Amino acid sequence: MIEDKNQSKTPLSELGEFGLIDHLTKDFSIKKKSTVKGIGDDAAVLDFKDEQIVVTTDMLVEGVHFDLSYMPLKHLGYKAMIVNLSDIYAMNAKATQVTVSIAVSNRFPLEAIEALYSGIKTAASLYDVDVVGGDTTSSTTGLIISITAIGTTKSKDVVYRSGAKSNDLLVVTGDLGAAYLGLQVLEREKEVFKVNPQNQPDLENYTYIIERQLKPEARKDIVKLLNDLEVKPTSMIDISDGLSSEIMHLCKESQVGCELYEDKIPLDPQVISTCEEFNLDSTTVALSGGEDYELLFTVSQEDYTKIKANPNFTVIGFMKDKSTGMNLITRAETSIPLKAQGWNSFNN
């Protein structure tokens, strides 16, 4: 991230906690009818009448989940929102409100936190959610962001991880592996920069995969699309920790097995070429990479005709009886057990 060394910087101590909150949230407007009271009281007041409420929360910690040497703060704010909104859409729900909490050390001036909130505001606008509260506090270990997202759905529409049946089709949106590879490129360029700070990275050949890492998108469109197609998934989850881990979550919660076909896993051409450059196996990257924030779901075979021609969806396998286990069918048509090798923060 290039920084203007001549730009004046305002210490957060000049504002204090409540002054900082007022400053950062003054431009957030309320748009949802369900938001009775947003920021400014002891608690937000929401009115959802006859709808089911879904709530999710995620925490991002500097040095564990993000590296500010190549993650711009505006992008970080945006991504922190996406991480949470994706979980709402994985329930087949509409996101409506979020709360945003940060812990920040005194090395961050006001202008840095403004950049962070600029990304949060951009995501809130694009995904049509109200920011209705949160908290700010100091940190001795860098920057920590915690966002809670709230959404709504009708009771008949909510989709859990636990509804898949044997013979259901296993379907994924978009393509996989790009976010992980974007991270590998950024990490490589960071090491080059350490050796030669005058060297400016040439990232032109990696535009797509770097964007998938720094500025991912949540699949809000899929909730509407499935509704328009009159398809209700039998189970669904978002892909944050890698395809294999998420498939295993669905199988465990639904008490079923599965067969995943290696040759059906959707890969962008830039993913394939970058895997070759890094001498990585593209299937392993797709299975274990994570942070794609695509949706993985199962549907009854009766719904196949409704989704088969849609470019947003790829059928990658099907569910089987639990006794058969969870297996990858390779391009050589051999069956090997799936392993959960997705990202685990406690291993770092």
Highest average pLDDT, of 27-36, 43-52, 108-117, 189-198, comes from 108-117
Output the average pLDDT for the chain: 91
- Report pLDDT for 35: 82
Do residues 48 and 95 touch, judged by C-beta distance below 8 A? no
- Report pLDDT for 208: 97
**Using one digit for the tens of pLDDT, what is the confidence trace for 161-202?**
999 999 999 999 999 999 999 999 999 999 988 888 877 777
Q: Is the pLDDT of residue 25 over 80?
A: no
Of the two residues 147 and 20, the one the predictor is more confident about is 147
The pTM for the full model equals 0.89
The sheet carrying 335-337 orders its strands as: 235-238, 295-299, 169-173, 313-320, 257-261, 326-329, 335-337
Dig out the tokens for 229 from the structure. 């197609």
**Using one digit for the tens of pLDDT, what is the confidence trace for 132-164?**
999 999 999 899 999 999 999 998 999 999 999
Q: Which of 241, 233, 239, 234 is nearest to 219 (CA)?
A: 239
The fold for domain 169-343 equals Phosphoribosyl-aminoimidazole Synthetase; Chain A, domain 2 (3.90.650)
Q: Which of 279, 316, 310 is nearest to 296 (CA)?
A: 316
- Report pLDDT for 14: 83
- Report pLDDT for 252: 95
Q: Is the pLDDT of residue 299 over 50?
A: yes
- Report pLDDT for 1: 38
**Using one digit for the tens of pLDDT, what is the confidence trace for 75-124?**
999 999 999 999 999 999 999 999 999 999 989 999 999 999 999 999 99
The fold for domain 12-153 equals 60s Ribosomal Protein L30; Chain: A; (3.30.1330)
- DSSP three-state, residue 150: strand
Percent of the chain surpassing pLDDT 70: 93
**Using one digit for the tens of pLDDT, what is the confidence trace for 246-293?**
999 999 999 999 999 999 999 999 999 999 999 999 999 999 999 999
Q: What is the largest CA-CA distance in the chain?
A: 65
- Please state the separation of Cα 283 from the chain's center in Å: 20
Residue 343 banded pLDDT, cuts 50, 70, 90:
very low
**Using one digit for the tens of pLDDT, what is the confidence trace for 228-258?**
999 999 999 999 999 999 999 999 999 999 9
Q: List beta partners, residue 153.
A: 52
Average pLDDT over residues 50-60: 90
- Report pLDDT for 12: 77
DSSP assignment, residue 189? H
- Report pLDDT for 346: 41
Average pLDDT over residues 320-327: 97
Residue 18 banded pLDDT, cuts 50, 70, 90:
low
Residue 13 banded pLDDT, cuts 50, 70, 90:
confident
H or E segment to which residue 286 belongs: helix 282-288
**Using one digit for the tens of pLDDT, what is the confidence trace for 65-77?**
999 999 999 999 9
- Report pLDDT for 4: 52
- Report pLDDT for 187: 94
Q: Where are the domains of the chain?
A: 12-153, 169-343
